Amino acid sequence: MNKQLTKIIFPAAGMGTRFLPATKATPKEMLTVVDKPMIQYGVEEALASGLDDIIMVTGRGKDAIENHFDISAELEANLHAAGKDELYQKVSHVARMASMAYIRQKEAKGLGHAVLCAASWVGDEAFGVSLADELMISEKPVMQQLREAHEKTGFSVVALAKVPDEDVSKYGIVKTDAEQDGLFRLRGMVEKPDIVDAPSNLALIGRYIFTPKLFDFLKESKAGVGGEIQLTDAMNELAKVEPVYGMVVDADRFDAGNPLGFLIANATLGLRDKKYGDLFREELKKLL
């Protein structure tokens, strides 16, 4: 019997160059959408999906992530003493939401390398991977949608979204068999293809569940474009030896890893926010 899926890796050691200078001293994953850093959305989604054993792969200058999920006794005492109960609850909740481990990726050698850094922590179990700068808002958490498909198939399942032609060159794009019971068996992946070379419009969007066999191929991977070890190269190899499935997930998705996507995420979630939504709408009307 396979072990229950509980482990999830958050690779958060990238350079965040598209956000410079904001990311010179602040990790991209700590940039705020409405009132929470992006990484907290990802962690909450993972926890709501039963993935509560979390490892963050961080790099230099990423201490803010560790501090965010740590207990700040002084802040909690101050909020408590000042009777700011709602804020106290929010702050203490973040610090106690999950068990977290941290590992350093000493050089930003790519997403595949970041995942490989967590190999010994994961061991011989299936595991999740979540990219926090892809924000997913949905009734059923996206990691839960993948978990259900993984439990049904016993194999790797990754989240897909249909993207318009003009966006194909921004994503890893998959080649698939015909859809069956909501799942596509993947037959290959290409990183950021030109539209003429793209095998489909189905893009990888930063949520994955993998069998531990992926690590065999990550270990063998040679650095490719820009000296980076690509996750998609190892996925391609994995798909040759066992099924790797993709599913188009049901979620509002925000590619918030670049300034425009980030602004759209803030505007959309700002307008939906219970506390600020109506006021924000009024203010926006004045600007438009």
Residue 105 near ligand UTP by CB under 6 A: yes
Q: Rounded to whole angstroms, what are the CA distances from 1 to 125, 154, 180, 209?
A: 11, 11, 26, 18
How far is the C-alpha of 107 from the C-alpha of 97, rounded, in Å?
29
CB of 258 to ligand UTP, least distance (A): 7
- Near ligand UTP by CB under 6 A: residue from 30, 34, 38, 110: 110
How does strand 172-176 pair with strand 156-162?
A: unpaired
Residue 65 near ligand UTP by CB under 6 A: no
- Near ligand UTP by CB under 6 A: residue from 8, 13, 198, 218: 13
> Residue 93, SS3?
helix
**Quick one: which H or E segment has residue 215?**
helix 214-220
CB of 76 to ligand UTP, least distance (A): 29
Q: Which two tokens stand for residue 42?
A: 């990802």
Residue 28 near ligand UTP by CB under 6 A: yes
Residue 223 near ligand UTP by CB under 6 A: no
Q: In the window 124-163, what residues touch ligand UTP (CB under 6 A)?
A: 131-133
Assess contact for 37 and 68: CB atoms under 8 A. Answer: yes
- Give ∠ CA 112-198-184 in degrees, rounded to 5: 70
- Near ligand UTP by CB under 6 A: residue from 36, 109, 175, 213: 109
Residue 42 near ligand UTP by CB under 6 A: no
How far is the C-alpha of 230 from the C-alpha of 112, rounded, in Å?
5
Assess contact for 208 and 236: CB atoms under 8 A. Answer: no
Residue 114 near ligand UTP by CB under 6 A: yes
**What count of other Cβ atoms lies within 10 Å of the Cβ of residue 124?**
9
- Near ligand UTP by CB under 6 A: residue from 8, 33, 79, 111: 111
CB of 236 to ligand UTP, least distance (A): 18
**What is the torsional sign of CA 219, 104, 28, 22?**
negative
CB of 96 to ligand UTP, least distance (A): 24
Which of 91, 132 has the CB closer to ligand UTP? 132
CB of 26 to ligand UTP, least distance (A): 12
- Near ligand UTP by CB under 6 A: residue from 12, 190, 218, 238: 12
Residue 14 near ligand UTP by CB under 6 A: yes
Which of 80, 109 has the CB closer to ligand UTP? 109
Nearest to 143 by CA among 202, 208, 203, 55: 208
CB of 35 to ligand UTP, least distance (A): 21
Nearest to 131 by CA among 36, 65, 207: 207
The residues of the shown chain that bind ligand UTP, judged by CB under 6 A, are 11-18, 28, 57, 105, 108-111, 113-114, 131-133, 257
